Structure 1
């Protein structure tokens, strides 16, 4: 078997056995994805298939690859109606692979990441899928996080104010040049931060490519994945980020023609209204949340290029990711001023 960085198949088999999981026959492992995200492997024997995830061998900060958080949330959401993979085992101390590792049941289906993947769907399927995703997000935000044991996952009080401060501080660490719009947007966000907000489980990175769709019917969401950024916070930050991800310049951040930026999907305004209908929540302070989401994505794009310039392997197109930053900052300023794009 070809050597896979970050994977030790024998050690994984030993760990699974220690968790009472009977591996039938040879254990085989394939790399599904890596790059800027956690390393994701498909592991299978003669009868069963699992997904194994661990942080990259090197790269981003541990907070961006919180495996304990990911596993805890997925476990808490079992049986809630929010589609997630069945949790199997968690190697908290990295005994097997040298880093915290999650094992969940393999969910068979399709993942739509880029425009080419989306081209396999009809226009009717694309529209229906977008509305299904919005309903899943509304269902997630409706979960009683205390009742499912996730009450200590985050601190909802003051969440958005901390987000404004967090991303301003991150800008100071990763900026590759001075952009006046950054300071202007930060100041506007700080001055207009809502004092009273709702609280729910927040996914933190919700869009089509962080879900697994039914192989036969792409309008059915089989599982939401990539929970390492989730917390207890303001649900409107999830909704706004989902909407701002629709911006065409997000392609520069991802380094590809993303499925979620396609003009075939409903507009950001349509998605927001669909969420309001599905959830029963109003869109109070919506301009603030759109501005904050733009601010965050602008900083993220800058950070990807910053790491690339420092010699980090940040994936294809990383040097160009910061080209999106001025666009996001300008869009954020327009949003918070109530100016239509």
Structure 2
């Protein structure tokens, strides 16, 4: 006698850590009846550095869920309500962001607050190699579109979209510099020639900020989705957004557009891709389209180099303590002096 086939539940997909599809389905059925048409499946999107991102589907529709990392402690560092708020506020503007579906602050559903937003088709380009199939002209169009979208973001009046109290822009640069200095002190256990000189030089040369805007905080090509028409379909990863100096976003974008020329670097930039515009062209395009004075951009770019050096040193420090998982962390420490040197050179250029 042949054995009966296993019940359907026995072959069900194992859900990813941090998201129970049945729990989510029950919540959505209660809060948005009719949105979901069947059982949900979920998969974790790899590549995020902090908050967790999942794609969920009922076989017909797709949505994206964002939640804090597993075992998170500091709620303010992974504030789902804040992310949900800025994306919801920007959706009616010229800034392309996914449409939010709902926010859940009840930990009992998924073990942490989360929000749901629409799924947007597009590609996040993380390296020059991934851009190569586009060819020079399409690569150029995509990167210039990144600048144009940044101008659109910085043109939004925070008060008009309900974000007038989204941050404390007064003293923004000074607070940022002190914050990253403290981050460095918390993870420094080796000599880093030049890092104190860079930090001090940034402090002495602090520029006067233009009028505050919504600042993304981590604006680069792999935090946007590019469509098949080479246009930006959505700007993602708003966890560091606030009200502050818009040129910090431009400085970071310029830093990521510089060529590192480090073989097998674990920190990838897209600058080596054929057709990628040079940093100076990005600065000039932003200045022309925004009307802002970018004459102090060397300071902002040097600050971006400093900030990334601190972040990389923190990763290296955790690696030495055996607190990292995965490959490539053994080479992070070698990059820190390179970033410090770029920061010092850039600051001197200003």
Q: TM-score, normalised by structure 2?
A: 0.89
- How much has 1:85 moved relative to structure 2? 0.2
Q: Distance in 1 between matches of 2:317 and 2:343?
A: 21
Contact kept in structure 1, 2:22 and 2:39, CA below 8 Å: no
Q: Which has the higher contact order (CA 8 A, sep 6+)?
A: 1
- How much has 1:140 moved relative to structure 2? 0.1
Q: Distance in 2 between matches of 1:268 and 1:64?
A: 31
- How much has 1:9 moved relative to structure 2? 1.1
Instruction: Specify the alignment match of 1:265 in structure 2.
Output: 276
Q: Structure 2 unaligned runs (5+)? A: 1-12
Which has the higher Rg, Structure 1 or Structure 2?
A: 2
Q: Distance in 1 between matches of 2:48 and 2:154?
A: 29
Alignment of 1:1-341 (within 5 A): 1-22=13-34, 23-33=36-46, 36-58=49-71, 63-214=76-227, 216-218=228-230, 220-249=231-260, 255=266, 257-259=268-270, 262=273, 264-338=275-349
Q: Deviations over 1:289-333 (max 9, x none)?
A: 121111101101111111222232354312322322111212222
Query: Structure 1 pair 257/244, CA: closer, same or farther in 2 (3 Å)?
Result: closer
Q: Deviations over 1:178-237 (max 9, x none)?
A: 2231111111111111244321000011111111111x212x111100001111000000
Q: Distance in 2 between matches of 1:284 and 1:178?
A: 33
Q: Distance in 1 between matches of 2:242 and 2:40?
A: 34
SS of match in other structure, 1:228:
coil
Count of residues paired in the alignment: 337
Contact kept in structure 2, 1:132 and 1:221, CA below 8 Å: yes
SS of match in other structure, 1:237:
helix
Contact kept in structure 2, 1:35 and 1:315, CA below 8 Å: no
Q: TM-score, normalised by structure 1?
A: 0.91
Query: Structure 1 pair 116/330, CA: closer, same or farther in 2 (3 Å)?
Result: closer
Query: Structure 1 pair 34/96, CA: closer, same or farther in 2 (3 Å)?
Result: farther
Q: Distance in 2 between matches of 1:253 and 1:91?
A: 41
Query: Structure 1 pair 171/253, CA: closer, same or farther in 2 (3 Å)?
Result: farther
Provide the alpha-carbon RMSD of the alignment: 2.3
Q: Distance in 1 between matches of 2:103 and 2:314?
A: 30
- How much has 1:336 moved relative to structure 2? 1.8
Contact kept in structure 2, 1:252 and 1:323, CA below 8 Å: no
Contact kept in structure 2, 1:206 and 1:238, CA below 8 Å: yes
Query: Structure 1 pair 52/306, CA: closer, same or farther in 2 (3 Å)?
Result: same
Q: Distance in 2 between matches of 1:136 and 1:68?
A: 24
- How much has 1:66 moved relative to structure 2? 3.0
Q: Distance in 2 between matches of 1:237 and 1:99?
A: 31
Contact kept in structure 2, 1:133 and 1:221, CA below 8 Å: yes
Q: Deviations over 1:22-43 (max 9, x none)?
A: 2201211122225633221111
